[in-house]
Amino acid sequence: MPLFVLTIFLSAFLLFQVQPVIARYILPWFGSSPAVWTTCMLFFQAGLLAGYAYVHLLVSKLRERPLLQVGVHFILLAVSLLFLPITPSDAFRPAAETDPVWGILRLLGLTVGLPYVLISASGPLLQHWFSEALPAKSPYRLYAVSNFGSLLGLLSYPFIFQPAFGLKTQTLQWSIGYAVYTVALGVCAWYFLRKRHAGASPLEEDLPAGEPAPRHRFLWIAFAACGSVILLAGTNQMTQDISVTPIFWVVPLALYLVTLIIAFDHPRWYRRSVWIPLAILSTAALAVLLNLEGEINIHLTVQIALHLATIFTVCMVCHGEMVKRKPAPRFLTTFYLSVALGGALGGVLVSLVAPLVFDGYWELHAGLVLTFILVAANLVGGGGGKRRVLSVAASFVLLALLSIFLGRNVYLQVKGSVDARRNFYGVLRVYEYYLGEPDHQKELYHGRIDHGHQFMSDPFDRIPSSYFGKHSGAGVFFRMHPSRDPSNPQPMKIGVLGLGIGTLASYAQPGDGVRFYEINPDVEMLARQHFLYLEHCPGKVEVVLGDGRMELERELERGEPQQFDVLFLDAFSGDSIPMHLLTREAFEIYERHLKPGGHVVAQITNQHVDLTDPLRVLAADLGKEIIRVEAPPREAWELYSSWVVIGNDRTVIDRIQAAGYVTEWERKEPKPVRWTDDYSNLMPVLVW
């Protein structure tokens, strides 16, 4: 028994630790979009399904030939060792025109595909071997052990492995663990072959006899799919405006695993009278939160707590209802295959179907409503009784109220929208307001974050607005730059990572060149179709599609340094920070594109992340000067913004200081937060 427990624990630990390890490794290659994680999860769920299908086929076809069963599995394991170590090659970095979803799926398939499928097969395979070697003991308890190992593998990553080790070390450690697991599995196989008993388990007398009913098979798949949708859609909703980092991937997935541990450990832990009301309460609280967005500023911890509470309680109901109908051990592989199929189906709905069907993040709304419909229908099908009838009636009333509240949230986001686009990089929405001159304006939102607005009437359409007003760090920088001296104006070469609506183009003068780098093609389409900054720019405007940092690298490889006077960093995904743009290696690339004496000017406006410390440390390590310019709104068209100016040339910095625009640092000495491509940790800079 301890041998099987330790092996299944190790396999589950490795199975779930590889997910944040490999997703974190490739995150910068695909623009640090929240969709990187959901696409990785789609692959992992499909890999789990493939592993369970493989075990089901292996066991059903070779049940009476155990030696061949073990032999086939270990031949595949030997082949999978050729994939080690699992460190992704730089050859997998995508080109600008690569479809990111299929690029990620291809990369994962060629890097961790076979090891992941085989290690995901360990759960049902070891439980099958266990039930045959020890027929008097229940194999379902091993599933709880497996999920505990998965939970530890997840939680140890952001709190132990990520802070302590670089990415290449993490992939090497996992590869060593996989080799150790292979040896442990060999010992379990030897025990299975020696102790195997033919015939049915005496435990089957306590579980439903015969083939599982079609209704039960449907419910296994449906509840597993709903749980998967709630997990992935809830994580998407939570991370779109904070930052894409493993801690916000791991915690929801860990809670998801806890619900599986509770549900599979013993039937007494799942009580409908407790968990269904808790799920209703947490979902109602989340619906209220979603409806209050934009009206009041809700603290980060409250937002996270309500999202996590909803994910936990609703998934607990899904998995509790699913496990209520688990079959006898001889149908164990069928049951797990159905569960894996449901999980993969949820991943497909969130990652592939939802972006095609919805122009907003509505899959969480739809998933919650569908889950409660399924629960209510399941209660109806469970028999009569006055108490049950009242419960069903109450469920449908609450379901109607929930649908109204969630529908209102959708309506509020769509109201006033004249265009909306959704793709791998998120949801973009253009709003138009017309209140008479000069109040005819348009705004671009990415998720829930304003990415710029413009007055549409001449001459107000040439005014830089929102975070880029004349009192912002960008406006102050241009005003103080020697090239803008009225007595001797000089053309400037301006680089910008992140297009938005193109507001920074309004600072260009005749003879200037403005080169934008934008990863999301829909951003350029909306900027040109609905806004006028690019059209009215008096200088030469270029837009390069692709991840800004990767395109700058490619230009250096081609021998094309851009010689920028200034490079602006304004690449936000919603309100989240692409950390790969703020590492030491990234700034070394920027330096090679700047003229001598050129500057990097970064916008660090953010509700949830304080970037001053990593940038101060980075500037010191590179021997650069750094100042901060914080600008409260002084005009109706301005928004609060915070910027830093980094460079060697003191001319501009001294002028900004002399004019009184420099903001003092909150701390005299920064926290020692150093970000590199191999190591970065967001936890020290989160604003809780």
3-state secondary structure of 458: coil
What DSSP element (H or E) covers 646? strand 641-647
Residue 206 pLDDT:
47
Last residue of a domain, one of 348, 380, 412: 412
Q: Could you tell me if residue 396 is inside a domain?
A: yes
Residue 388 pLDDT:
61
Q: Could you tell me if residue 279 is inside a domain?
A: yes
- 335 and 449 in a single domain? The answer is no
The Cα 334–Cα 52 span in angstroms is 9
Last residue of a domain, one of 412, 441, 463: 412
- 476 and 360 in a single domain? The answer is no
- 382 and 507 in a single domain? The answer is no
Task: Walk across the sheet containing 540-545 and list its strands.
Answer: 540-545, 513-518, 493-497, 564-569, 594-603, 641-647, 625-631
The Cα 568–Cα 497 span in angstroms is 6
The Cα 455–Cα 189 span in angstroms is 71
Q: Report the largest interatomic distance among the alpha carbons of the chain, rounded to a whole angstrom.
A: 96
Torsion angle (degrees, nearest 10) of CA 150, 155, 157, 163: -170
- 499 and 548 in a single domain? The answer is yes
Residue 390 pLDDT:
64
DSSP state, 445? E
Residue of 120, 122, 109, 118 whose CA lies nearest to 43? 109
Q: Could you tell me if residue 175 is inside a domain?
A: yes
Q: Could you tell me if residue 517 is inside a domain?
A: yes
The Cα 31–Cα 100 span in angstroms is 9
Q: Please name the residues in contact with 176: beta carbons below 8 A apart, sequence gap of 6 or more.
A: none
* β-strand pairing of 625-631 with 493-497: unpaired
- 565 and 476 in a single domain? The answer is yes
Total domain count, the chain: 2
- 356 and 463 in a single domain? The answer is no
Residue 552 pLDDT:
95
- 129 and 27 in a single domain? The answer is yes
Torsion sign (Cα): 257, 315, 120, 61: positive
CB of 379 within 8 A of CB of 395? yes
Backbone angles phi, psi at 465, to 5 degrees: -125, -170
Residue 419 pLDDT:
92
Q: Could you tell me if residue 419 is inside a domain?
A: no
Last residue of a domain, one of 412, 439, 458: 412
Q: Could you tell me if residue 365 is inside a domain?
A: yes
Torsion angle (degrees, nearest 10) of CA 136, 209, 332, 274: -90
CA distances, 41 to each of 30, 104, 195, 281, 418 (Å) = 15, 11, 37, 28, 33
Kindly tell me the number of DSSP H helices and DSSP E strands found in the chain: 24, 11
Residue 244 pLDDT:
58
Q: Could you tell me if residue 565 is inside a domain?
A: yes
Which CATH number fits the domain that encloses residue 279? Answer: 1.20.1250.20
DSSP state, 539? S
- 402 and 533 in a single domain? The answer is no
> How deeply is 109 buried, as exposed, middle or buried, from its count of CB atoms within 10 A (0-12, 13-18, 19+)?
middle
CA distances, 335 to each of 140, 378, 477 (Å) = 11, 19, 63
Q: Could you tell me if residue 421 is inside a domain?
A: no
- 470 and 378 in a single domain? The answer is no
3-state secondary structure of 394: helix
- 604 and 664 in a single domain? The answer is yes
CA distances, 240 to each of 75, 158, 290, 604 (Å) = 43, 19, 14, 17
Residue 130 pLDDT:
83
CB of 581 within 8 A of CB of 549? yes
Task: Walk across the sheet containing 417-423 and list its strands.
Answer: 417-423, 426-433, 441-446, 449-455
Which CATH number fits the domain that encloses residue 662? Answer: 3.40.50.150
Residue 327: both structure tokens together: 């079959």
pLDDT along the chain (688 residues), means of 10: 85 91 88 81 90 88 85 93 90 77 91 93 85 71 78 87 88 94 92 71 50 84 94 84 68 89 82 88 87 70 88 94 80 82 91 87 89 83 59 70 80 85 88 74 84 83 88 93 89 95 94 94 94 93 93 94 95 68 94 95 86 93 94 80 91 92 90 88 74
Q: Name residue, tokens 């640090």.
A: 32
> How deeply is 321 buried, as exposed, middle or buried, from its count of CB atoms within 10 A (0-12, 13-18, 19+)?
buried
- 276 and 164 in a single domain? The answer is yes
Question: Cα 47–49–54 angle (5° rounding)?
Answer: 95
CB of 623 within 8 A of CB of 448? no
- 447 and 569 in a single domain? The answer is yes
Domain that holds residue 189: 2-412
The Cα 410–Cα 291 span in angstroms is 9
Residue 571 pLDDT:
80
* β-strand pairing of 594-603 with 641-647: antiparallel
The Cα 363–Cα 407 span in angstroms is 12
